[in-house]
Amino acid sequence: MKDSSTRTTQGRGKRFDSILETVGDTPTIRINNLGVPGITLYVKAEFFNPASSVKDRLALNIIEAAERSGALRPGQTVVEATSGNTGIGLAMVCAQKGYPLVVTMADSFSIERRKLMRMFGAKVVLTPRADKALGMYNKAVELAEANGWFLARQFETEANADIHEATTAREIINDFAGARLDYVVTGYGTGGTVTGLARVLRRERPETRIILCEPANAQLLGSGQPQERSPAGTPALSHPAFAPHPIQGWTPDFIPLVLQEAIDTKGYDELIPVAGADGMEWTRLLARKEGIFTGISGGSTFAVARQVAERAEPGSVILCMLPDTGERYMTTPLFEAIEAEMDVDEIALSLSTPGYQMATA
């Protein structure tokens, strides 16, 4: 590791006209304490985006592509179905650009996500968890049609994979220019990341294997069963292989049309399932051993990256995508063992000196 005793900073050499100009250019960070001997493991920390997730990229591009095409009119309300991160990204973009935003979201997703969207000024309409992601999706369609609102369509729009092709993939190409890159590991929610990455990596880094992950108890792709769709490509029914899983942001109860491109074009080389409990354990280890605070989806992707590292050839280089921050999961099982009050060891530390003790100690 580099000596940081003489660390200095000089700024970015520019001033930004708005928060939206800070989307993208997220750092690639080496893993130092949780690696596998002989393997170099990196993570791409998407929580460095301004609203702390990879979905800031597609949120910005969906709105700006719609502005360019005229599909989104000045002052028109935007509506979208989301498990949280896309909604938070859209809320940031709409706040800056002056569009009202309505989000539909199943009530099973973490409470802090709805609070964050409301903090940005969005309205959040909850749908019953029993109706799964398809329920919140259909509610957004209903609201758009009833009110003449702009439906963002993150699961179908070309603007989704396009922004990952234009930014995320280019950042990876530049970060590893002239260097080895054997594997890229990512999960999927809409499928935009893997589809956009595949377009570029297949062409410019064909030696790089793309590993895709999904929940072990909701293996939509692993089942081999196709998604039933309407003529417009939207999901007609929930996928039969879906089951509720704890990896929020991953794998809705249908295969998104954006992901279908990567399936049809063989945009990934291997599909690896991961248990939610394993993902949460690696999320905690990343925080405690690397100081990297990602969410359950990031820990789950890292769990698969570790599996790949353990069987990779010596000298291999692996890049793992970390989609968001752990702060999105404060009210989920990820934090069940993290208490707000002092534990026994902390009480003992308090009592070890005479002053400033809490009454509970």
- The residue behind tokens 């692993």 is 222
For residue 3, what are its two tokens? Answer: 């000596």
Q: What is the DSSP letter of 169?
A: H
pLDDT given at position 359: 86
Model confidence pLDDT, tens digit, residues 290-302: 999 999 999 999 9
Q: How far apart are CA 103 and CA 246, in angstroms?
A: 21
pLDDT given at position 7: 87
- Helix residue ranges per DSSP H, the chain: 55-69, 85-97, 111-119, 132-147, 158-163, 169-175, 192-204, 257-264, 276-285, 296-311, 344-351
Those residues whose C-beta lies under 8 Å from the C-beta of residue 80, and which sit 6 or more positions away, are 86, 87, 90, 101, 102, 103, 104, 140, 151, 152, 153, 154
pLDDT given at position 115: 96
Domains of the chain (ranges, CATH numbers): 19-48+168-335 (3.40.50.1100), 55-151 (3.40.50.1100)
Q: How far apart are CA 207 and CA 329, in angstroms?
A: 36
pTM attached to this predicted model:
0.94
For residue 188, what are its two tokens? Answer: 């999927």
Burial of residue 96, with CB atoms counted within 10 A of its CB: 0-12 exposed, 13-18 middle, 19 or more buried: middle
Print pLDDT tens along the chain (361 aa).
556 578 899 998 999 999 999 999 999 999 999 999 999 999 999 999 999 999 999 999 999 999 999 999 999 999 999 988 999 999 999 999 999 999 999 999 889 999 999 999 999 999 999 999 999 999 999 999 999 999 999 999 999 999 999 999 999 999 999 999 999 999 999 999 999 999 999 999 999 999 999 999 999 999 999 999 999 889 999 999 999 999 999 999 999 999 999 999 999 999 999 999 999 999 999 999 999 999 999 999 999 999 999 999 999 999 999 999 999 999 999 999 899 999 999 999 999 999 999 987 7
Output the CA angle 122-123-125, nearest 5 degrees. Answer: 140
pLDDT given at position 1: 55
The radius of gyration computed from the CA coordinates of the chain, to the nearest angstrom, equals 21
Active-site residues, by number, are 55, 297
Got the DSSP string for 178-238?
A: TS---EEEE--SSSHHHHHHHHHHHHH-TTSEEEEEEETT--TTTTTPPPPB-TTS-BSS-
β partners of residue 322 = 45
With residue 361 as reference, give the H or E element that holds it.
none
pLDDT given at position 4: 57
Strands in 270-274's sheet, in edge-to-edge order, are 28-30, 40-45, 317-322, 183-186, 209-215, 270-274
β partners of residue 165 = none
Phi and psi of 82, rounded to 5°?
Answer: -155, 150
Q: How far apart are CA 193 and CA 187, in angstroms?
A: 8
- The residue behind tokens 């925080």 is 287
- Under DSSP, is residue 32 helix (H, G, I), strand (E, B) or coil? coil
- From residue 165, give the alpha-carbon distance in Å to each of 158, 162, 169, 235, 297: 11, 5, 5, 24, 21
